[in-house]
Amino acid sequence: MKKKRFKRWFVLLAALLVLFFVVPSVIHKIEQSRYPQKYSESVEKWAAEYQIDPNILYAVIRTESSFDPQAESNVGARGLMQMTEETFQWIKSKIAAQEPLEFDSLYDPDTSIRFGAYFMDLCMERYSGDLSTAAAAYHSGWGTVDGLLEDPAYTTDGVTLTEYPYPQMNRYVYKINRSYQKYVSLYGEQ
């Protein structure tokens, strides 16, 4: 009788040890596979260049293209960070005017991350470091966000958005924030 009781306690203790030590590690690995850090060399390089948290770039890439460098949206945005031709040309004039880059260059991961990091950094600066407002601007453009910031229905301070009137913008901001928080929780703040 004592042997059976000891065996049950031992099995229960072993199961609890597995539950407390192995399961969290497996869950962490599964979450990391859902929130990968692909193209980390380029992300880290351009995040450092433009002084932006790499987790923001990972969140944008995950949300925009699911890490597919050949991604193209229904409005013609291209690459990992989904940039339109108009935005590409404007950024090229700012950071790569003398380089022989074309719109198709955004299919190159390093180019897409470089241009996207530059633009996201500008959005973060323009909107006082508020990730939600910067994400809305990355998605919908400065003109749209600036217009919303003039309406007290969408802002309390005229600097950051508190409401997102368009369903697609609202979903996008939610996804960016959720992904960013997941990246921070999985990999730490950077």
- The residues that are catalytic are 64
- Candidates 70, 40, 23; CA nearest to 183 is 40
DSSP 67-98: T-TT-B-TT--BTTTTB-HHHHHHHHHHH-TT
Distance of alpha carbon 11 from alpha carbon 70, whole angstroms: 51
Residues 103/134, Cβ–Cβ less than 8 Å: no
21 exposure class (CB count in 10 Å sphere: 0-12, 13-18, 19+) = exposed
